[in-house]
Amino acid sequence: MGRVIGPYVYRHDAPEGFRHTRPVEWIRTEISRDVIKQDLLDSLGSLLTVCGLTRFDAARRVAHLAAHGTDPGVGMAGGEYEARSRSDLLAEAAERSPGDPVRLTIRALLGYWDAARRTPDVVAEIEGALEEKGLATRPAFTEGWVDNFIQLVPVGEEPVVGETSFPAQVADDTEDASELPGITLRIGDLKAANGAVTAVRPEDSLHKATTLMVLKNFSQLAVVSEDGTFHGAVSWESIGRAQVAKASASMADATVAALVVEYHEPLLEQIDQIYTRGFVFVRSQDKSGLCGIVTAADLTRQFDDLARPFVLIEEIERRLRRRVNEKLSLEEIRSCARRRPDRVRSAGDLTLGNFWFLLEPAERWSKLAWPLDHQLFLELMKAVTGIRNETMHFSPDPLTSEQMNTLTGFLDLLRTVDPDA
């Protein structure tokens, strides 16, 4: 491991393939591969050209390797910055040098704005605050899994490359606050697309592959050579076919072609491929290697996260409408419609937010004859309405467990007091 200390030199007398050089000061030559964690090892093995590594906290980890000979892992080198308040966070980020930016997860950034999801309103508010301080995020905080790390850096400035700094990035890797937020769900927004990929080498035995698959409950593994070249994948099916065809089957016999998709690919465009093939690998944002694998099971979980809130809210609305139609007059129902009440023909024409105003008066609430606390019911209604309004706006992030618990709890309450609905 070394540091470049001089300009480019072309050595015409050197063997072919070794003529393009730069002088290097070697810092460590005794580092064993065993001390480097697999995610960083895969990235380093892919360095067949000059590039800057941005995923898995690579720059700080390499600097730590150079200084101490150990790999601290993701999130440990440099750590995540914590501030007491939003203003403290922005002030600290504005004061930092470009080579030592504030680093935190997207989820943590949202937390300073009391948010858990990247809705358009939240994104606009954060972008406005960053722009006011002359700051941007790298990578874009509007893209990728919510637990990915980002840096807060000055707009238009690149960090200085040094022993403990992050490498300079291309401009496309920095989100300016003036850019519009993404509105398309992308492969990189899935949690599965942002985890380390377990891989075997082409020279490994099939016993190693099957042992890893049983140990980690995987159905497939990537096959990646030491220099980072991607060869394909092995799966239970491909291994079974290879062993049926050849008694002493090797890794090469069981390796099959596998699709690699880009991090920013729209998810909808890849659904057919994922279901047909069973899985796809995801190439990292910096193109240095694989950063995840998305399976058909991951798609099922993703669409469950997306669809479940709508299903719960729909049943909540249907149960409320049924009860209100049974117990209240049309005149009472129309009283909560702020616009064109004459067009309201039943509770089916009301929005979820209308029900709060309809049931807020005690005399109307009493007509439902539900043995529930009136004030607590109204508080739950307000919370559910807020969640409903939030789900109507695009966000790559699922609802939080607290929000889901609010929806399921309120629906369970309605099912209990109105079991025949």
Distance CA 310, CA 304 (A): 10
3-state SS assignment for residue 54? coil
Number of Cβ within a 10 Å radius of residue 139: 23
- Tokens describing residue 404: 């889901």
Share of the chain above pLDDT 90, in %: 53
What letter does residue 56 receive in the DSSP assignment? Answer: G
| Helix or strand holding residue 241 (H, E) | helix 236-245
Q: What is the pLDDT of residues 354-385, one digit of tens each?
A: 999 999 999 999 999 999 999 999 999 999 99
Q: What is the pLDDT of residues 32-79, one digit of tens each?
A: 776 777 667 666 655 544 556 656 667 767 877 777 777 766 554 456
Tell me the pLDDT band of 230, cut-offs 50, 70 and 90.
very high
Per-residue model confidence (pLDDT) at position 235: 96
User: CATH 3.10.580.10 occupies which residues in the chain?
Assistant: 191-288
For residue 27, which amino acid is it?
Answer: I
Share of the chain above pLDDT 70, in %: 86
387, 403 contact by CB (below 8 A): yes
Per-residue model confidence (pLDDT) at position 338: 75
Least confident of 73-77, 137-141, 339-343: 73-77
177, 130 contact by CB (below 8 A): yes
Looking up tokens 């291309």, which residue turns up? Answer: 170
Looking up tokens 């070394």, which residue turns up? Answer: 2
Q: What is the pLDDT of residues 18-31, one digit of tens each?
A: 888 888 888 887 78
Tell me the pLDDT band of 239, cut-offs 50, 70 and 90.
very high
pLDDT mean across residues, the chain: 85
- Tokens describing residue 372: 């529930």
Looking up tokens 């609430």, which residue turns up? Answer: 365
Per-residue model confidence (pLDDT) at position 102: 92
Burial class (CB in 10 A: 0-12, 13-18, 19+), 399: buried
Number of Cβ within a 10 Å radius of residue 368: 18
Q: What is the pLDDT of residues 240-272, one digit of tens each?
A: 999 999 989 999 999 999 999 999 999 989 999
Distance CA 40, CA 44 (A): 6
101, 155 contact by CB (below 8 A): no
> Residue 134: is its pLDDT beyond 90?
yes
Per-residue model confidence (pLDDT) at position 202: 96
Tell me the pLDDT band of 177, cut-offs 50, 70 and 90.
very low
| Helix or strand holding residue 105 (H, E) | strand 102-105
Number of Cβ within a 10 Å radius of residue 74: 17
- Tokens describing residue 104: 């935190």
Query: Within its chain, how far is the Cα of 307 from the centroid?
Result: 18
Per-residue model confidence (pLDDT) at position 184: 79
Per-residue model confidence (pLDDT) at position 272: 94
> Residue 81: is its pLDDT beyond 70?
yes
399, 305 contact by CB (below 8 A): yes
Per-residue model confidence (pLDDT) at position 205: 96
Per-residue model confidence (pLDDT) at position 51: 58
Cis peptide before 139 (omega within 30 of 0): yes
Which one is predicted more confidently, 5 or 257?
A: 257
Query: Which alpha helices (DSSP H) does 255-400 contain, by range?
Result: 271-277, 296-327, 330-334, 352-359, 362-368, 374-391
3-state SS assignment for residue 24? strand
Handedness of CA 152, 265, 238, 229 (dihedral sign): negative
Q: What is the pLDDT of residues 160-170, one digit of tens each?
A: 333 333 344 43
Tell me the pLDDT band of 172, cut-offs 50, 70 and 90.
very low
- Tokens describing residue 248: 């002493």
Tell me the pLDDT band of 227, cut-offs 50, 70 and 90.
confident
Tell me the pLDDT band of 215, cut-offs 50, 70 and 90.
very high
Residue (of 181, 148, 126) closest to 395 by Cα position: 181
200, 251 contact by CB (below 8 A): yes
* Topology annotation, domain 191-288: CBS-domain (3.10.580)
66, 28 contact by CB (below 8 A): yes
Per-residue model confidence (pLDDT) at position 93: 92
Half-sphere exposure of 77 (CA within 13 A, CB side): 26
Looking up tokens 């920095």, which residue turns up? Answer: 174
DSSP string, 274-298: HHHHSEEEEE-TTSSSEEEEEEHHH
- Stretch 320-333: mean pLDDT: 92
Per-residue model confidence (pLDDT) at position 161: 35
3-state SS assignment for residue 348? helix
135, 151 contact by CB (below 8 A): no
User: β-pairing, 220-224 with 199-200?
Assistant: parallel
Angle between helix axes 296-327 and 352-359 (nearest 10 degrees) is: 30
- Stretch 220-227: mean pLDDT: 93
- Stretch 83-91: mean pLDDT: 91
- Stretch 112-129: mean pLDDT: 92
Least confident of 19-28, 151-160, 344-353, 412-421: 151-160
